[in-house]
Amino acid sequence: MMKEPLSATADHDVVIVGLGPTGATLANILGEYGLDVLVLEREESVYPLPRAVHFDDEAMRVFQSIGLAESIGRDARVNVGTKFVDANMELMLDWSRPQEVGPLGWHPSYRFHQPDLEAELNRGLADRATVAVLRSANVTAVTDHADHVTVSFAHEGAAKSVSARYVVGTDGARSVVRSSMDSGWEDLGFKERWLVIDVQLLKPRPDLGDFTIQTCDRARPTTYVRCPRDWRRWEISLKPEETAEMVTEDSFIWPKLRPPITPEEGAIRRKAVYSFESKLATRWREGRRLIAGDAAHLMPPFLGQGMCTGIRDAANLAWKLVAILKWGAAEAILDSYEMERRDHARIYIETAVSVGEMMNSAETAEALTHAVRPDGSAQMQSINRGLERAIGPADDSFAGMRMPQPQLANGQWLGDAMQGRFAIIGHGAALQAASLPPSHMALAVSADDHDEVAGMLERLGVGSLVLRPDFYCFGAREQADGGSLDTLVGVLRDQLGLAA
């Protein structure tokens, strides 16, 4: 199906406000589909110092889908995990991360340097002919009309405006796009001030180790993070009476770094006071305006899931915009964006809050532990979750499940073969008997031809399934016959609002 024509007054398919990791990832995905995208960013250049420091295998799988996983992975390092210790540095809880490649085709956890990541995402955008980036563009208003949205902004001293079929705000906690909507914040109750210190080593300090250290101390919780190359981070909990001016003095900082380090061993490159909060936007979509990333949710950093959650937002929203703009889907599919992503983000926020409370109370949180070890410490279990509510067939337990990524018989990863499409997976006879979507929208994968695909179906106990472009399951059927698969595909067509 050809791309739906633009409104006579729309300059672009999508305008994205904000070029952080979420906005850049969204723009790259939409560019992969050939959509006309304009990104408006208020900053003149990429911020040169680190902020986010962690992403997971789900994020890496999204980076894979835009052809940037290899270059991003080259600059990142596989994360070994986190140790929670008490004020005496005695182990309370061990969250060691697996060092082998996981079922999604990537390592479960990575540490990265944000300027490296943003440079690669921007390099990807520069290679996409249908994506334009305008920096030093300060958005002042976003106005929704019946068939398009107008975005007003200031650039080079002049007032300008553009229009688009949709506008997505990835412009952070003080989002202009969110403020233009009837959307406030739901406060989940966590708010603390922390001092974040980024240090560049001047001398080797291998004794600092590769594990993140969360010191659970009632008097002053702290965090140490092993970042790539010679970068190290400390985060220090602040007391109400401690002002930003007071805590950013070197005399305050150096004695409080745990594990300790001296000015002769490392140089402080950034020091900033942050308010760690737990909030969810009350609305993620209003008409043709949508929000993602920190514009839609704020969480404490203790799980390293803030940016990851934004990347999941981008992957979820992108294919739904494409379905409308290129595949002829009904606009109602966008209603599922908030339904799926808001509840999912809440889980990660609440888990991060639990970790923060544990650090403050110096007591292990039973909800986070998998098994207590003989020495009294505990092992944290995986925090990975599927979508709590998801589109798909009614009462289908597989709808919204995170799906593994098998390799095909030719060695290609399934995600690479999908090329942004759905994957209809089943046995050859069922695929031949079913009425499948056109090839530009869905890839048919026969389990008869690919051992790892067959093994995946066997482990799941199903005969066929539909995999979404964001790598969650749409639905599955236990039976392997063509009629069952045809029914499943029919539900997909119905929910997308597509003709048979």
Q: How confident is the model over 95-114, as a mean pLDDT? A: 93
- Report the predicted TM-score, pTM, of the whole model to 2 decimal places: 0.93
- Res 381 pLDDT > 80: no
Per-residue confidence at 132, pLDDT binned at 50, 70, 90? very high
Q: Give just the sign of the alpha carbon dihedral 352, 358, 359, 360.
A: positive
- Res 8 pLDDT > 70: no
Please give the Cα distance from 333 to 429 (Å, whole number): 31
- Residues 487 and 475: beta-carbon distance below 8 Å: no
Q: For 457, which DSSP code?
A: H
pLDDT tens profile 165-198: 999 999 999 999 999 999 999 999 999 999 999 9
DSSP 412-441: -BHHHHHTTSEEEEE-HHHHHHS-PPPTTT
pLDDT tens profile 272-315: 999 999 999 999 999 999 999 999 999 999 888 999 999 999 99
13: its two tokens: 């398919």
User: What ranges do the domains of the chain cover?
Assistant: 12-186+278-380, 414-496
Please give the Cα distance from 353 to 189 (Å, whole number): 9
Q: Give just the sign of the alpha carbon dihedral 303, 307, 313, 316.
A: negative
Report percent pLDDT > 70 for the chain. Answer: 93
- The DSSP bridge pattern shows strands 37-40 and 12-17 to be parallel
189: its two tokens: 């109750």
- Residues 436 and 464: beta-carbon distance below 8 Å: no
Overall fold of domain 414-496 = Glutaredoxin (3.40.30)
- Residues 138 and 43: beta-carbon distance below 8 Å: no
- Give 10's contacts (C-beta < 8 A, 6+ positions apart): 147, 148, 163, 164, 165
- Residues 178 and 169: beta-carbon distance below 8 Å: yes
Asked if the domains at 12-186+278-380 and 414-496 fall in one CATH topology, the answer is: no
Overall fold of domain 12-186+278-380 = FAD/NAD(P)-binding domain (3.50.50)
476: its two tokens: 């599955």
- Write down the pLDDT at residue 270: 94
Task: Please tell me whether the peptide bond between 300 and the residue prior to it is cis, using omega within 30 degrees of 0.
Answer: no
